[in-house]
Amino acid sequence: MIYVGPHISIAKDISLAPGRAKALGATAFALFLKNQKIWSAPDIKKESASSFKENVRALGFNDDMILPHAGYLINMASPDEEMRRKSLLLLKDEIKRAKEIGIRKLNIHPGAYIEGEREDGIRRSAEMLDQALSDVDDFMIALEDTAGSGSNLGSSLEELAQIIDMSKKKDCLGITLDTCHLYGAGYDMRNEATMVLDKALSIFGKDKILGVHLNDSKADLASRKDRHDSLGKGKIGLEAFREIVCHKAAEERPLILETIDESLWEEEIKTLLQFYQEYIS
């Protein structure tokens, strides 16, 4: 079974997100837990959290198929002490918000080391994960691969594995695979998607793959650019996504559309679910 849906807006109230996803025919979805571009925001109201959980149940969503995305300001790998302090506080707040709405996992970018040695950035990222999870039970953080622009960490599967291996909380860590980011980093998702997903399974195992972001790419292979496109409109091409959603790595995982044209989301969901139905029939 596969579960597919887009990254849903939380405008007006977070409790509206499940309904917005359901209206598109989604069986999974992602969301931010606050404005992703600010350091602090009002707490989630208790009634909003309760309504979110009730709507999830009433609309037939599985909690495991909802993958919140942490805000963009968090930089776990920064060498700047003040940035790291603020990032840790924000990461802990994001974890708290996820738990308040009944979700036990969070997607996050590994961070950018900015200056110095890459190994130092990997170490700092692992250390912050340990700090953020030090007093948290039954919670998973998914490290999302990146296209690798600048000093961003996570442009290889091996680097994500290195961060996890360096952490003392490795049992609480997994990954999210982003098809656009993989392509930008040099993994040929157009022609070798099965090979790439096989490699991810061999490195991490199925249990560590917590989700997949399904995005086509405006940028070229190995461009180091993160430029999302609608499915079939970019350099990866639609047929590659048939291969991806029918792979073992995608089964029983939230498959999240972060494609650029919201008017196509309903069609994209139907297409991906049809690919899978054709595969199992």
Residue range 33-91, pLDDT digits in tens:
999 989 999 999 999 999 999 999 999 999 999 999 999 999 999 999 999 999 999 99
pLDDT for residue 138: 93
pLDDT for residue 233: 98
pLDDT band at 115 (very low <50, low <70, confident <90, very high): confident
Does the residue 263 lie in any domain?
no
Q: Average pLDDT for residues 94-101, to the nearest whole number?
A: 98
Does the residue 253 lie in any domain?
no
Does the residue 99 lie in any domain?
yes
Distance CA 91, CA 86 (A): 9
Q: For the domain that residue 111 is a member of, what is the CATH number?
A: 3.20.20.150
User: Where does residue 33 rank: exposed (0-12), middle (13-18), buried (19+ CB within 10 A)?
Assistant: buried
Does the residue 270 lie in any domain?
no
pLDDT for residue 248: 98
Give the residue numbers spanning the domain of 204: 3-247
Does the residue 22 lie in any domain?
yes
Identify whether the C-beta of residue 77 lies closer than 8 Å to the C-beta of residue 111.
yes
Res. 116: pLDDT tops 90: no
Compute φ and ψ for 102, nearest 5 degrees.
Answer: 85, 15
Instruction: State the pTM of this model.
Output: 0.97
- Tens of pLDDT, residue by residue over 242-271, are 999 999 999 999 999 999 999 999 999 999
pLDDT band at 112 (very low <50, low <70, confident <90, very high): very high
Question: What average pLDDT does the structure give for the chain?
Answer: 97
Counting the structural domains of the chain, the total is 1
Please name the amino acid found at residue 33: L
Does the residue 157 lie in any domain?
yes
Mapped onto helix, strand or coil, the DSSP state of residue 269 is helix
Does the residue 92 lie in any domain?
yes
pLDDT for residue 167: 98
Q: Average pLDDT for residues 119-130, to the nearest whole number?
A: 97
